[in-house]
Protein backbone atom coordinates (compact mmCIF):
# COMPACT_ATOMS: atom_id res chain seq x y z
CA UNK A 1 0.00 0.00 0.00
CA UNK A 2 2.76 2.46 0.93
CA UNK A 3 4.71 1.63 -2.23
CA UNK A 4 1.63 2.08 -4.41
CA UNK A 5 0.91 5.43 -2.77
CA UNK A 6 4.45 6.67 -3.34
CA UNK A 7 4.41 5.49 -6.94
CA UNK A 8 1.14 7.34 -7.51
CA UNK A 9 2.64 10.53 -6.08
CA UNK A 10 5.79 10.21 -8.18
CA UNK A 11 4.05 9.66 -11.51
CA UNK A 12 1.23 12.14 -10.88
CA UNK A 13 3.62 15.12 -11.07
CA UNK A 14 4.59 15.76 -14.72
CA UNK A 15 7.81 17.47 -13.62
CA UNK A 16 9.16 14.18 -12.36
CA UNK A 17 8.90 12.62 -15.80
CA UNK A 18 10.83 15.53 -17.27
CA UNK A 19 13.53 15.16 -14.61
CA UNK A 20 13.96 11.47 -15.46
CA UNK A 21 14.12 12.35 -19.15
CA UNK A 22 16.71 15.03 -18.32
CA UNK A 23 18.76 12.36 -16.54
CA UNK A 24 18.87 10.26 -19.71
CA UNK A 25 19.51 13.13 -22.12
CA UNK A 26 22.12 14.88 -19.99
CA UNK A 27 24.03 11.65 -19.44
CA UNK A 28 24.24 11.01 -23.18
CA UNK A 29 24.84 14.59 -24.33
CA UNK A 30 27.56 15.50 -21.83
CA UNK A 31 29.24 12.13 -22.29
CA UNK A 32 29.29 12.74 -26.05
CA UNK A 33 30.85 16.17 -25.51
CA UNK A 34 33.47 14.62 -23.25
CA UNK A 35 34.32 11.90 -25.77
CA UNK A 36 34.53 14.45 -28.59
CA UNK A 37 37.27 16.29 -26.71
CA UNK A 38 39.75 13.37 -26.46
CA UNK A 39 42.14 11.97 -29.03
CA UNK A 40 45.22 9.75 -29.09
CA UNK A 41 47.65 12.62 -28.41
CA UNK A 42 48.19 11.25 -24.88
CA UNK A 43 48.56 7.69 -26.12
CA UNK A 44 52.14 6.91 -27.23
CA UNK A 45 50.92 3.38 -27.93
CA UNK A 46 47.79 1.31 -27.26
CA UNK A 47 49.55 -0.25 -24.27
CA UNK A 48 50.62 3.17 -22.94
CA UNK A 49 47.46 5.20 -23.33
CA UNK A 50 46.71 7.76 -20.64
CA UNK A 51 43.09 8.16 -21.69
CA UNK A 52 40.54 5.91 -20.01
CA UNK A 53 38.02 5.94 -22.85
CA UNK A 54 35.38 4.05 -20.90
CA UNK A 55 35.52 6.55 -18.05
CA UNK A 56 35.43 9.45 -20.49
CA UNK A 57 32.42 7.83 -22.17
CA UNK A 58 30.51 7.93 -18.89
CA UNK A 59 31.52 11.44 -17.84
CA UNK A 60 28.02 12.81 -18.38
CA UNK A 61 26.72 11.43 -15.07
CA UNK A 62 28.64 14.17 -13.29
CA UNK A 63 26.15 16.64 -14.74
CA UNK A 64 23.13 14.34 -15.05
CA UNK A 65 23.16 13.60 -11.32
CA UNK A 66 21.77 17.11 -10.81
CA UNK A 67 18.43 15.81 -12.10
CA UNK A 68 18.60 12.94 -9.63
CA UNK A 69 19.23 15.30 -6.72
CA UNK A 70 16.33 17.56 -7.68
CA UNK A 71 13.95 14.62 -8.17
CA UNK A 72 14.85 12.92 -4.89
CA UNK A 73 14.81 16.05 -2.76
CA UNK A 74 11.49 17.24 -4.18
CA UNK A 75 9.95 13.81 -3.56
CA UNK A 76 10.39 14.53 0.15
CA UNK A 77 10.24 18.30 0.59
CA UNK A 78 7.23 18.90 -1.69
CA UNK A 79 5.07 17.04 0.82
CA UNK A 80 6.12 19.45 3.55
CA UNK A 81 5.66 22.48 1.30
CA UNK A 82 2.07 21.62 0.32
CA UNK A 83 1.05 19.98 3.59
CA UNK A 84 0.51 16.56 2.01
CA UNK A 85 2.76 14.97 4.65
CA UNK A 86 -0.08 15.15 7.19
CA UNK A 87 -2.36 13.21 4.85
CA UNK A 88 0.39 10.69 4.13
CA UNK A 89 0.98 10.01 7.83
CA UNK A 90 -2.76 9.86 8.55
CA UNK A 91 -3.09 7.13 5.92
CA UNK A 92 0.04 5.32 7.11
CA UNK A 93 1.31 6.32 10.56
CA UNK A 94 4.32 3.98 10.33
CA UNK A 95 6.92 6.55 9.37
CA UNK A 96 9.68 4.04 8.73
CA UNK A 97 7.48 2.29 6.19
CA UNK A 98 6.63 5.59 4.50
CA UNK A 99 10.27 6.60 4.16
CA UNK A 100 11.33 3.14 2.96
CA UNK A 101 8.58 3.12 0.33
CA UNK A 102 9.51 6.60 -0.88
CA UNK A 103 13.21 5.73 -1.05
CA UNK A 104 12.47 2.49 -2.88
CA UNK A 105 10.16 4.04 -5.48
CA UNK A 106 12.38 7.05 -6.24
CA UNK A 107 15.55 4.96 -6.42
CA UNK A 108 13.89 2.39 -8.67
CA UNK A 109 12.76 5.14 -11.04
CA UNK A 110 16.27 6.59 -11.13
CA UNK A 111 17.84 3.19 -11.80
CA UNK A 112 15.42 2.49 -14.66
CA UNK A 113 16.19 5.88 -16.25
CA UNK A 114 19.92 5.50 -15.64
CA UNK A 115 20.18 2.34 -17.73
CA UNK A 116 19.31 3.88 -21.14
CA UNK A 117 21.34 6.98 -20.27
CA UNK A 118 24.48 5.00 -19.46
CA UNK A 119 24.08 2.54 -22.33
CA UNK A 120 23.34 5.43 -24.70
CA UNK A 121 26.57 7.11 -23.61
CA UNK A 122 28.52 3.96 -24.35
CA UNK A 123 26.88 3.63 -27.76
CA UNK A 124 27.62 7.25 -28.65
CA UNK A 125 31.25 6.82 -27.60
CA UNK A 126 31.60 3.83 -29.91
CA UNK A 127 30.46 6.07 -32.77
CA UNK A 128 32.66 9.07 -31.92
CA UNK A 129 35.90 7.48 -30.68
CA UNK A 130 37.07 5.93 -34.00
CA UNK A 131 36.98 9.36 -35.61
CA UNK A 132 39.34 10.62 -32.89
CA UNK A 133 41.89 7.91 -33.56
CA UNK A 134 40.59 5.32 -31.09
CA UNK A 135 39.87 2.72 -33.77
CA UNK A 136 40.42 -1.02 -33.81
CA UNK A 137 42.77 -0.54 -36.75
CA UNK A 138 44.99 1.63 -34.53
CA UNK A 139 44.90 -0.90 -31.73
CA UNK A 140 42.16 0.73 -29.65
CA UNK A 141 39.07 -1.49 -29.54
CA UNK A 142 35.87 0.42 -28.67
CA UNK A 143 34.37 0.08 -25.18
CA UNK A 144 32.32 -3.10 -25.00
CA UNK A 145 30.08 -4.71 -22.38
CA UNK A 146 31.87 -7.97 -23.18
CA UNK A 147 34.93 -6.46 -21.50
CA UNK A 148 34.72 -7.04 -17.73
CA UNK A 149 36.13 -3.63 -16.65
CA UNK A 150 33.72 -1.83 -18.98
CA UNK A 151 30.77 -3.90 -17.74
CA UNK A 152 31.78 -3.10 -14.16
CA UNK A 153 32.06 0.62 -14.99
CA UNK A 154 28.62 0.66 -16.63
CA UNK A 155 26.94 -1.31 -13.85
CA UNK A 156 28.66 0.74 -11.18
CA UNK A 157 27.63 4.01 -12.82
CA UNK A 158 23.96 2.98 -12.73
CA UNK A 159 24.33 2.01 -9.07
CA UNK A 160 26.11 5.30 -8.39
CA UNK A 161 23.07 7.27 -9.55
CA UNK A 162 20.81 5.12 -7.38
CA UNK A 163 22.97 5.83 -4.33
CA UNK A 164 22.93 9.56 -5.10
CA UNK A 165 19.12 9.35 -5.04
CA UNK A 166 19.21 7.69 -1.61
CA UNK A 167 21.67 10.30 -0.34
CA UNK A 168 19.39 13.11 -1.51
CA UNK A 169 16.30 11.47 0.01
CA UNK A 170 18.06 11.16 3.36
CA UNK A 171 19.22 14.78 3.35
CA UNK A 172 15.82 16.00 2.16
CA UNK A 173 14.07 14.10 4.95
CA UNK A 174 16.48 15.47 7.55
CA UNK A 175 16.27 19.12 6.44
CA UNK A 176 12.69 19.28 5.05
CA UNK A 177 13.65 22.39 3.08
CA UNK A 178 14.01 22.16 -0.70
CA UNK A 179 16.71 24.78 -1.24
CA UNK A 180 18.68 23.81 1.86
CA UNK A 181 18.62 20.11 1.03
CA UNK A 182 19.66 20.64 -2.60
CA UNK A 183 22.54 22.91 -1.59
CA UNK A 184 23.68 20.45 1.07
CA UNK A 185 23.73 17.51 -1.34
CA UNK A 186 25.45 19.45 -4.10
CA UNK A 187 28.12 20.67 -1.68
CA UNK A 188 28.72 17.10 -0.57
CA UNK A 189 29.07 15.95 -4.16
CA UNK A 190 30.99 18.78 -5.79
CA UNK A 191 33.07 20.43 -3.07
CA UNK A 192 35.73 17.72 -2.74
CA UNK A 193 37.34 18.24 -6.19
CA UNK A 194 37.67 21.95 -5.36
CA UNK A 195 39.06 21.29 -1.88
CA UNK A 196 41.60 18.84 -3.28
CA UNK A 197 43.01 21.62 -5.44
CA UNK A 198 43.23 23.94 -2.43
CA UNK A 199 44.96 21.45 -0.15
CA UNK A 200 48.69 21.35 -0.71
CA UNK A 201 49.50 18.22 1.27
CA UNK A 202 49.33 15.15 -1.04
CA UNK A 203 48.35 12.92 1.89
CA UNK A 204 45.32 15.06 2.69
CA UNK A 205 44.45 15.27 -0.99
CA UNK A 206 44.44 11.48 -1.10
CA UNK A 207 42.29 11.26 2.04
CA UNK A 208 39.78 13.75 0.69
CA UNK A 209 39.47 11.88 -2.59
CA UNK A 210 38.94 8.59 -0.75
CA UNK A 211 36.31 10.00 1.62
CA UNK A 212 34.34 12.29 -0.72
CA UNK A 213 31.07 10.75 -1.99
CA UNK A 214 31.43 11.72 -5.67
CA UNK A 215 35.16 11.18 -6.24
CA UNK A 216 35.11 7.87 -4.41
CA UNK A 217 31.83 6.71 -5.92
CA UNK A 218 32.91 7.44 -9.49
CA UNK A 219 36.10 5.44 -9.02
CA UNK A 220 33.94 2.55 -10.20
CA UNK A 221 34.20 4.01 -13.72
CA UNK A 222 37.98 3.55 -13.91
CA UNK A 223 39.12 0.74 -16.20
CA UNK A 224 42.83 1.53 -16.59
CA UNK A 225 45.70 2.39 -14.23
CA UNK A 226 43.68 1.30 -11.21
CA UNK A 227 46.81 1.44 -9.08
CA UNK A 228 46.87 5.22 -9.53
CA UNK A 229 43.30 5.67 -8.32
CA UNK A 230 42.83 6.95 -4.74
CA UNK A 231 40.49 4.02 -4.00
CA UNK A 232 39.41 0.79 -5.65
CA UNK A 233 36.29 0.75 -7.86
CA UNK A 234 33.92 -1.20 -5.63
CA UNK A 235 35.44 0.17 -2.42
CA UNK A 236 34.77 3.67 -3.72
CA UNK A 237 31.16 2.84 -4.42
CA UNK A 238 31.02 1.43 -0.89
CA UNK A 239 32.10 4.83 0.50
CA UNK A 240 29.19 6.48 -1.31
CA UNK A 241 26.88 3.78 0.06
CA UNK A 242 28.05 4.67 3.59
CA UNK A 243 27.27 8.34 2.95
CA UNK A 244 23.82 7.43 1.60
CA UNK A 245 23.15 5.08 4.52
CA UNK A 246 24.19 7.70 7.07
CA UNK A 247 21.95 10.31 5.44
CA UNK A 248 19.00 7.93 5.38
CA UNK A 249 19.56 6.94 9.00
CA UNK A 250 19.70 10.58 10.11
CA UNK A 251 16.61 11.36 8.07
CA UNK A 252 14.74 8.34 9.42
CA UNK A 253 15.52 9.20 13.04
CA UNK A 254 14.46 12.82 12.64
CA UNK A 255 11.36 11.77 10.70
CA UNK A 256 10.37 9.38 13.45
CA UNK A 257 10.96 11.49 16.53
CA UNK A 258 9.94 15.00 15.55
CA UNK A 259 6.60 16.46 14.59
CA UNK A 260 5.56 16.05 10.97
- The model carries a pTM of 0.93
**Alpha carbon separation from 126 to 2, 44, 47, 142, 153 (Å, rounded):** 42, 21, 19, 6, 15
Q: pLDDT of 113-171, one tens digit each?
A: 999 999 999 999 999 998 888 887 787 888 889 899 999 999 999 999 999 999 999 99
Query: Does residue 221 contact residue 157 with C-beta atoms inside 8 Å?
Result: yes
Q: pLDDT of 198-247, one tens digit each?
A: 777 778 777 888 888 999 999 999 998 787 888 999 999 999 999 999 99
Amino acid sequence: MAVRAEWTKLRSLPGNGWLLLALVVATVVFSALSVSAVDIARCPAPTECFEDTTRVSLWGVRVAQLAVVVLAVLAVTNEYANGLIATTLAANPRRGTVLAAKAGVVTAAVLVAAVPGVLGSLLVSRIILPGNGFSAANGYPPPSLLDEPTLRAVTGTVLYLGLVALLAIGVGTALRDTAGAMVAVLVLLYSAPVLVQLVGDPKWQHRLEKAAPMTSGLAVQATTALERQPIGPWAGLGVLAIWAGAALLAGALLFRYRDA
